[in-house]
Structure 1
Amino acid sequence: MNRQPLSAIAAPRGLVGGPFGSSLVNADYTLEGVPVIRGANMSAGRFIGGEFVFVSPEKFTRDLSRNHAVPQDIIYTQRGTLGQVALVPRGVQETFVVSQSQMRLRVDPNRAVPEFVYYASTTADFLRQIEDRAISTGVPHTNLGILAELTIPLPPLAEQQAIAEVLGALDDKIAANASLASTADELSLGQFQSFLRDGELAERATADVATVVLGGTPSKAISGYWTNGTVPWLNSGELNATRVLEPSALITEEALSKSAAKMMPPGATLIAITGATLGQIARLEIAASGNQSIVGVWSEDPIMSVWLYFALRARRDQLLTRATGAAQQHVSKADVAQLQIPVPSRETLWTFGQYAIPLLNLATNAERESIALAATRDALLPHLMSDKLRVRDAESAASAAGL
């Protein structure tokens, strides 16, 4: 397939970096105005998103108008987490500012389809080009000159559009599922909070109403205990999501038997107790074990396990007040076990369960479907970009995945 550098598909003055350092500093940020695209806005999926900071319209007009982005522009990370790329969405905001750590590409519509260029910029081949050309002195970074030279496959416009539509449909469904799961979780939380506010609840130590276990580390004498394992194994970094549906690794049963870690059932609440993820809470949707950075909490009563998930979230700030450590903050299993949580009557618990359990199941099923859709998208992407797969066949594969 024909390949072209990004410079060949850019509109006039389409490749733009962020402003000079002194032109945009923290003191320039305001509560409203023109949003600034920073690294934190590059990890929300296909489109920029998350919490934005702003600059005033006057600041934008005076110092930053050259460093702007508009819908359909493509944003690349220049320093920090290299390889991040995102589109500026339509219908949200007409103008953005590109920060010092980002670069913007505006494509010539006669040469390329922005959504296609975005997907081409997420391939392993494109990421390798960035890695090979990155400047490693200090913080790893690239620049506009490097970005301009990076190449992507460039089929005819009609084919670009067709490829972008197939992959975009998968991402649209993933985004819809994420919204559905978030709404289901918020509704369940709202119901919990209404009982917390209006119900007659007793305060009990977590260990009085639930099983509390600490993860462990397998014996170092077992070599290669991650190889060919069958038992799902977790670490605290996986608790950034609301629900844990897939493990990062599989451990052998022999290694687990020589570890202090215990198997935790579906429905358990996981709490990260150390390091950067301290206080992260997620609901486990598979049977799994984990390392010593995780505490698991559950009840034999599945409705109580659901209540515990929300009760521990409600008491997260209280748990964090127990954190100790200078270099790395942490809490202990005992801190979790002794944490006072609200406990309802059996009638209140049953009423809550009838409302919350179907919603949590809906959220879990939506996220499981998204995992399958993302796997399909990632499998199709390199084949579509290399012309090894026809769009019609890709559409069939997407349909089979549940689109």
Structure 2
Amino acid sequence: MKTQTKTIEWREVELGNEDICEIAGEYGSGASAKKYDGEIRYIRITDIDENGKLRDEKVSPSKIEEKYLLKKGDLLFARSGATVGKTHLFIGDGSKSLYAGYLIRFRFNKDKIDPNYIYYYTRTPKYLSWVKSKMKVVAQPNINSRQYSSIKIPIPFNEDKSDLKEQEKIVKILEKAEKLKERGKNANELLDEYLKSVFNELFYNNSFQEVKLSDICETSSGGTPSRTKQEYWSNGKIPWIKSGDLNKDKITEVNEFITESGLKNSSAKYIEPNTILIAMYGATAGITSISKIRATTNQAVCALVPKDKKLNEIYLLYWLRSKYEYIVSLSFGGGQPNISQQVIRSLMIPIPPLPLQEKFTKIVNEIEKMKENVKKTESNSEELFNSLIQKSFRGEL
């Protein structure tokens, strides 16, 4: 006897349709936030990170309104500001939570809709494109409850009923793909932690001779060619490193270039590959990196080059990173920290035996190879997830 093949029909259903929603587009509480009381969490738009997860820091509401209590499976949409369109699926941790007024709640009929299915839809290029199209061209973009309720979601149907099993199948596939993607990120974090522990084991609590950084390193900073002179920038071929570029472990490429004329008519100057760089101003102050390319820098970057073979540049890089908080504590200025080149030059650095520094460098090189392999895997996992999430909502899985 032949078994009948299930026929899936895909229909577009508005998010706020009362057939799939118990609560459609409800705004949150207007209560103010106070210190976390250990009992009730208050979820605000700023508590949701770029990945839709809740940040660790918690606050409580100034007043408790039962109608704003969240239930497992509630889906929250950010309605205003830079994060408009961002979503968070509330999974609960056993404690009570309320949501704030810049968030909009949808609660689904779980006999017909898997909330995870809708959440994954809000991560598709189609949804993100919809968000972009709805954002008004004003300083403070906004998407209201009515607009969110009108989003058309592709829902699988079987025999004229919403097919919950098909939704759950899709969710399981996407969850597995997402775990693969997250594994790569976690692996990199573990490798970084391992390097920190190796550095501490080799170099801390040892009575190595200390010398002033200026005695063992050449230091310099660059400059910025005039932005009003097009000939300093147009069709430039010389890489120009800014302090914001130092957020990467190593600098292999940049997004701004200057011309020979810009170089000659400014304080910008060349640095050679394997030069250590430290940001001196603003939000990135104290951040360090190593340039793997011949380039120039601006005035917010201090370049350090060992002038004595007793100092290995990789040891110098990781020593500076280990001293990040201390270096920032030496900064001056108002809201944004500023570190002078003089402060950097006056730092006292321990000088371990060169063979020990070289041993650490070999370990770093091995870890870098491992991170490159992780990066390839992570890239493949990202592509897999993006491909699957698009196919899922086209009925191609």
State the TM-score, normalized to the length of structure 1. 0.72
Q: Which residue of 2 aligns with 1:4?
A: 13
RMSD: 4.3
The superposition leaves residues 209-248 of structure 1 with CA deviations (integer Å, 9 ceiling, x where unpaired) of 4454535435644459576x7776654345556x357756
Task: Answer whether contact 1:233 1:247 (CA < 8 A) is retained.
Answer: no
Cα 1:285–1:335 shift into 2, 3 Å = same
Q: Which residue of 1 aligns with 2:212?
A: 205
The runs of 5 or more residues in structure 2 that have no matched partner are: 1-9, 158-162
Q: Residue type of the partner of 1:51? A: D
- Residue 177 of structure 1 deviates from its aligned partner by 1.5
2: CA distance, partners of 1:110 / 1:302: 70
The runs of 5 or more residues in structure 1 that have no matched partner are: 392-403
State the TM-score, normalized to the length of structure 2. 0.73
- Residue 339 of structure 1 deviates from its aligned partner by 2.8
Cα 1:217–1:48 shift into 2, 3 Å = same
Cα 1:313–1:10 shift into 2, 3 Å = farther
Q: Which residue of 1 aligns with 2:28?
A: 18
SS at match of 2:82: coil
SS at match of 1:198: coil
Aligned pairs for 1:357-376 within 5 A: 357-367=365-375, 369-371=377-379, 373-374=381-382
Q: Which residue of 1 aligns with 2:314?
A: 306
2: CA distance, partners of 1:151 / 1:3: 5
Cα 1:208–1:175 shift into 2, 3 Å = farther
Q: 2:257 aligned with 1:251, yes or no?
A: yes
1: CA distance, partners of 2:311 / 2:106: 51
1: CA distance, partners of 2:104 / 2:124: 18
2: CA distance, partners of 1:353 / 1:143: 54
Q: Which residue of 1 aligns with 2:152?
A: 151
Aligned pairs for 1:187-336 within 5 A: 187-210=194-217, 212-218=219-225, 220=227, 221-222=229-230, 225=233, 234-240=241-247, 243=249, 249=255, 251=257, 260-263=268-271, 265=273, 269-282=276-289, 291-297=298-304, 304-326=312-334, 328-336=336-344
The superposition leaves residues 111-139 of structure 1 with CA deviations (integer Å, 9 ceiling, x where unpaired) of 44434433432345434543454577774
2:57 corresponds, among 52, 58, 83, to 52
- Residue 50 of structure 1 deviates from its aligned partner by 3.2
Q: Which has the larger radius of gyration?
A: 2
1: CA distance, partners of 2:382 / 2:171: 15
Percent of residue pairs identical: 19
1:175 corresponds, among 182, 186, 192, to 182
2: CA distance, partners of 1:141 / 1:332: 42
Cα 1:342–1:276 shift into 2, 3 Å = same
Task: Answer whether contact 2:79 2:103 (CA < 8 A) is retained.
Answer: yes
2: CA distance, partners of 1:107 / 1:25: 28
Task: Answer whether contact 2:77 2:88 (CA < 8 A) is retained.
Answer: no
Q: Residue type of the partner of 1:52? A: E
Q: Which residue of 2 aligns with 1:339?
A: 347
1: CA distance, partners of 2:125 / 2:232: 28
- Residue 53 of structure 1 deviates from its aligned partner by 0.9
Task: Answer whether contact 1:275 1:329 (CA < 8 A) is retained.
Answer: yes
- Residue 356 of structure 1 deviates from its aligned partner by 4.5
Cα 1:77–1:174 shift into 2, 3 Å = same
Q: Residue type of the partner of 1:74? A: L
Task: Answer whether contact 1:19 1:99 (CA < 8 A) is retained.
Answer: yes
Q: Residue type of the partner of 2:12? A: R
Cα 1:277–1:354 shift into 2, 3 Å = closer
Task: Answer whether contact 2:75 2:88 (CA < 8 A) is retained.
Answer: yes
Task: Answer whether contact 2:40 2:95 (CA < 8 A) is retained.
Answer: no
